[in-house]
Amino acid sequence: MQLLQTLLATLVALGVLVTIHEWGHFWVARRCGVKVLRFSVGFGKPLWMRTAADGTEYAVAAIPLGGYVRMLDEREGDVPEALRGQAFNNKPVLQRIAIVAAGPVVNLLFAVLAYWFLFMSGVSVVVPVVGGITADSPAARAGVDSGYEILEVDGHSVRSWSEVNLRLASRIGESGSVELLMGEPARGFAHSYQVPIDDWRVDLERQSPLGALGLEPWRPDFPAEIGQLLPEGAAARDGLQVGDRVLSVEGEPVANWMHLVALIQQAPEKTLRLVIDRDGREQAITLTPAARTTEKGTVEGYIGVGVAPVSLPDEMQRTLSYGPLDALGNGFHKTGQMIGLTLDSIGKMIAGVISVKNLSGPITIAKVAGASAASGLESFISFLAYLSISLGVLNLLPIPMLDGGHLLYYVVELVRGRPVSEQVQMFGLRIGMALLFSLMALAIINDIVRLF
């Protein structure tokens, strides 16, 4: 069932974003008088196709990893004399620029509308209250106190952990200090902290910028109650059940879930005596945690359980909701912020500040699509907006094979007054293909490594 949900969410996400991207090219091409031969969602053999009265073919193809708009073009075949004026290559360069740019631009506008819808309907967020400070971290060295809400990061107002992380992510690779304004708004109290950073590097695969700075979000006190069981795990094998509450381990009272986790991790392959509360009755049970090796090379105990969910108190949640005009303004602001972060991340990846291990391919996209769909409409629309921004920005990069590569040639043509030679374009195409296929291969390898 989960696999089916992941597949459906992925197909919907890719289908929506590819369709609006290609529709952008299609709509502007038609307005510029270019004859469109085919509008296809997907590549390969068409699974469905219909021919309109004007001769345009509309198709849905078998490989849902892209799409295309095929226009009449003398470079791709003979064009009857009567139709030469409708060929793409015969249109003024400014019209060709508009047609090529339309796809990525529509992707960015879709993100604005998605965020507008979310801000109109209300976005639920967690108030960014710091619950703990990691020892010997930048935040600890700066004397940051726990228990306070983060109000600003570097002078920018923040209202959720997502906004805090986005602001911190923009500082990766930099030196100096991160300014945090923290306090209790209800009491009118606020204090500024200068958190030092020096060529700040963050392994984004293993931690968030927030964690790298040493800040731990406030969390409710989770009781040591079993909420999930892996069928092949040690807990299920040794008789634990969903709903069991662990009272003690080897005679030591268990305070909460994190205490239980710590006790289990300290006892790989050791038989433990647990006292549990099951349906209001205490009983003893023996449990032998399995052993697994951590990323740091140490061995820890593992029993294959998950914590029972606990609701956040009302004061730790807020809803960001705006009227139509304010929501639109926030939609443009959020989209602009995400565009800036995407470009900044690409630049830092090229400079080596951010590892290329953070590149993601179709497997990761599918997993995130499935998880966001399972989390609800709000999460799925947010995912669509972010993916649409990524698609729009990447397509505008000046790399041959992408829309941005064509735009580069047309801008050069606009400046020089004549087209870029076929030889130069073919050379650029080979470079672009090599670069894109290398990046795709790296992203897929990263996906496979994450799976295992």
Catalytic amino acids? Answer: 22
- Sign, Cα dihedral of 420, 426, 427, 430: positive
The residue among 309, 301, 206, 208 whose CA lies nearest residue 257 is: 309
Residue position matching structure tokens 């795990």 = 233
Cα 13 off chain centre by: 13
User: 84: helix, coil or strand?
Assistant: helix
Contacts 24+ apart (CB under 8 A), 262-266: 264/289, 264/301, 264/302, 264/303, 265/289, 265/300, 265/301, 265/302, 266/300, 266/301
d(CA 53, CA 206): 55
Helices 377-396 and 362-375, packing angle to 10 deg? 150
- Residue 43 forms beta bridges with which residues? 63
The residue among 65, 52, 62 whose CA lies nearest residue 22 is: 65
CB 359 within 8 A of CB 442: yes
d(CA 69, CA 36): 7
The C-alpha angle with vertex 334 and arms to 328 and 338, in degrees rounded to 5, equals: 145
